[in-house]
Amino acid sequence: MNKKNLVFLIFTLTLLFTGCIENMVAVEENAAVIEESTINADSVGDYDIAVANNAFAFDMYSQLTQLETGEHENIFFSPHSISTAMSICYEGAEDTTKEQISNVFYFPSNKTVLKVRMERINDKINSANSDYELQTANALWVQEGYPVKEAYIRNVKKYYDGEVTNLDFVGKPEASRNTINEWVEARTNDRIKDLVPENSITDTTRIIITNAVYFNGKWVYEFDKELTDKKPFYPTKGEEVSVDTMYICNRFNYGENSKAKIIELPYKGNDLSMYVVLPKSNNLEKFETEFTLNDYTELKNDMKLVEEVKTSIPKFKFETKTELSNSLIEMGIVDAFGQADFSGISDSPLAISRVIHQTFIDVKEEGTEAAAATMEEMCMGMNISWEAKPKEFKADHPFMFFIEDRRTNCILFMGKVEYPEYNK
């Protein structure tokens, strides 16, 4: 039987959960709590979508660190975008294909629970706010004449607000590719280009699912451009470099423990914040292997409002484009790339063949602009208290960062800066 391709495109900034906890008992207890509130959730009210999203974020981050090939590898991705795209895929998955996707993404076994929660969180993300731009969008692109089940199309439209469009992948592959790429560019303010690579659409392509996420926000407390200056930055490996470093002394939520410091940089509108986690030792490679979702949550919960935090953070702007197929297979999604069961989408056999994730981030004095995209191809077969003592947050060596939606507690974007690239 000939195999047919089903391509899924995801656009956003967000991750998976994996981490080291000091003892195996703690690991097992934490995993049991996460599983109970995610995979085993029996109702919409029981499903903790933030825990699921953030756990996946840390797992995916762990996988991405294994893909690094150079000394100055920055990481940036959108767990929410990847999860949203995969949830549209999950809607049509059955049997062990469904089970494996559920285990990796912490999706509830009950599909209705997932799609209702995804509908609600996307409605909240897309709620209008004049203080910032934050939008997510989904689309389903179908080969003309290909028999996709009506129930699946209805669910994509209702719960994911997905646009459904017929294209001629077989007769006009390049025109189809351009149409999809233009859709992505339009929904990411032209920051994500050529998500669908040349020659990726073939005569076996049948469906492409796209998810796009775009964020542009200004800081509540903007950095003064006059105070931006060249300062030394010390990569984990390699020699000292001189980078454009922003400075501000203001009131921020701040915390620290024996291993790291954390600061919250809120965006106007107070719905989103960037959290920067700075290891106290200049060894991010070691730190990130031990830093878990539980550690991150505890670090955030222990923050206090400090009247004066002398804050130095480098400007950074970079793009990434990553093939995620092998990472997802390593994480446990095996059948979906081979003997898959996506009979909820079509009676014609389908299987994932590739997953591509593309992102953009620009952090400067005024605020942050961020975007990301992912492509999956399938083949058939805070505490309110004051701390008066001034603190210093000096990010002069590699650090991790998170952009969170404070309304949902979901990590929308996650990454690390090994080398602060900034090309004007």
CB atoms within 10 A of CB 132: 17
Q: Using N-to-C axis directions, what is the helix angle for 111-125 and 79-90, rounded to 10°?
A: 140
Architecture of domain 225-315+384-417: Roll (2.30)
Where do the domains of the chain lie? 4-218+317-379, 225-315+384-417
β-pairing verdict for 260-266 and 241-256: antiparallel
Q: How far apart are CA 334 and CA 329, in angstroms?
A: 5
- Residue 21: what pLDDT? 32
The tokens for 157 are 């439209």
C-alpha closest to that of 180 among 374, 324, 341? 374
DSSP summary character for residue 223:
P
Q: Nearest 5°: CA angle at 357, between 160 and 348?
A: 60
Per-residue pLDDT for the chain (424 aa), expressed as one digit of tens each? 344 445 433 333 222 222 233 333 344 446 666 888 899 999 999 999 999 999 999 999 999 998 765 555 899 999 999 999 999 999 999 999 999 999 999 999 999 999 999 999 999 999 889 999 999 999 999 999 999 999 999 999 999 999 999 999 999 999 999 999 999 999 999 999 999 999 988 888 888 888 999 999 999 999 999 999 999 999 988 789 999 999 999 999 999 999 999 999 999 999 999 999 999 999 999 999 999 999 999 999 999 999 999 999 999 999 999 889 999 999 999 999 988 999 999 999 888 878 889 999 999 999 999 998 766 655 444 444 455 678 999 999 999 999 999 999 999 999 999 999 765 5
The identity of residue 363, as a single letter, is: V
C-alpha closest to that of 83 among 64, 96, 102? 102
> Which CATH number is associated with domain 4-218+317-379?
3.30.497.10
Q: How far apart are CA 203 and CA 379, in angstroms?
A: 12
DSSP summary character for residue 406:
T
Cβ atoms of residues 260 and 278 within 8 Å: yes
